[in-house]
Structure 1
Amino acid sequence: ESTHVPLVIKMPKQTQGVEYTEAVSLLDVYPTITSLCGLPEVPSNEGLSLTPFINNPDFKRNKPAVMTWGYKNHAVRDERYRYIQYRDGSEELYDHNVDPNEHTNLANQSEYKGVIEKLKVWIPTKNRLPYGMEDFKQGDFLEKHLREWEQNDVPDFLS
């Protein structure tokens, strides 16, 4: 749920909307705006322009959406699956065709290893420390909460 956000694009003179279910990323917003404004592409942008979706309701994205939460925690979402890899190496896989609310983790089921391998290639290989951190020895907010839970203390955000 933390990576699910609505994205609405309304074009001038548009009178009727169309709903798309393809997974996209908020990184796609800037390339979309530059494309719609006729500005040159910026090669360093990680997102994809959504202009093809606007111009063709049947357009299929050829690249999954990639999300990062915290440090080295990544998710890859294609038209059917969401694969998550955490910094400790643990994994989750959900089939949104049958489990849209992500209740059943399929990552340890051997028949899904091919799906995982297909999505895993999109996991970022370069990670940056959160802003203001010089190293990761103390961890980030997730590490802090994990230490609090392990000590049976109530995390700051719950008190």
Structure 2
Amino acid sequence: MNNVTNWVFDLDNTLYKAECGLFDKVHVLMGRYIEEKLGLASGEAQALRSKYYHQYGTTLRGLMMEHQIDPDDYLDYVHQINYDVVSPDEKLGDTIKNLSGKKYIFTNANYGHVEKVLDKLKMNNIFDGCFDISESDYLPKPHKDVYDAFQKNLT
């Protein structure tokens, strides 16, 4: 593994255990945001959230395309969560830190969320860079253009 020059890591439910429930909290706020902005009942909002996720790759992309929602307003809202459910993972942190080559976060979240998660994981100074959803003009993974943009960012 010493010949690897770049390591790429997803963030949510990857660098921390999904069982901690952090992203479940985000999902709740996604639904609440839709309720408030579009005036929908809870069940309708959750159905729309799911529909947009499957149709557009993220709920955010669907809201942007169908309702001209401001992405930063949405991302700020859905990340108003308690990050204390994320616990440090020293073994994982040490393993990543000791990898040869550069280490990057590649995520559909925004940078503010990344910073908060890495802070809780005690991995703030391990990664060489972060490619968040704003750097792809809010086009989410797995669209090919996002991977192309990420790859250009590495060079």
Please indicate, yes or no, whether the TM-score normalized by the shorter chain is above 0.5.
no
TM-score (norm 2): 0.24
1 or 2 for the larger relative contact order (CA 8 Å, sep ≥6)?
Answer: 2
Structure (1/2) with the larger helix percentage: 2
**Rg larger in structure:** 1
